[in-house]
Amino acid sequence: MAATGKHFPGHGGVVADSHLETPTDTRSLEALWEHDLRPFKALMPSLQGIMPAHIVFPNIHSRAVGFSSYWLQDILRGELGFKGVIFSDDLSMKGADVAGGYRQKAEQALAAGCDMVLVCNNREGALIVADYLNSAVRLQTDSRRLGVMRARQHWSWAGLAASERRASVADQLARITVPR
């Protein structure tokens, strides 16, 4: 699978685990641009997918990121120019419960701009979302974006560990994440 950045716009200011609850981060958008958004901005040309966080930033927008068109359309697609696929984070996580039940979570994630919705750890929830998607008149996904997620080559773990590209990406990440 192609490279996917997560969890947009960053978990750097929260302690809460979104698997168990909905984290709240009270930092400003300026603070996020200075820290958490730097890796996303720097790596944007190399990312074919993005997964938003189940975090609420109440001083920026009232909705959790994965259910917010402000975050997904205005910031991610608009300001950062992301053209790839947006995957929801797992809708079975407790952090997603701010959006309601499984159908409501899927509706809101798609309406906000997610191209794909994931339900990874709840069979009943996955069936509810599948039923919703099968009955939806028109899905909002631009299917041309989905093709970029195909892996360009197959790797073994040993091949990946020895890859020059892996070493280059690790160096690039180290440069952009080290405080200046």
Q: Which residues are catalytic?
A: 19, 89
Phi, psi of 56 (to 5 degrees): -105, 130
Shortest CA distance to 110 belongs to which of 82, 90, 131, 133?
133
Give yes or no for a contact between 72 and 114, defined as CB atoms under 8 angstroms apart: yes
Amino acid at 65: V
122: left (phi over 0), alpha (psi -120 to 50) or beta: beta
Backbone CA torsion sign across 116, 119, 125, 126: positive
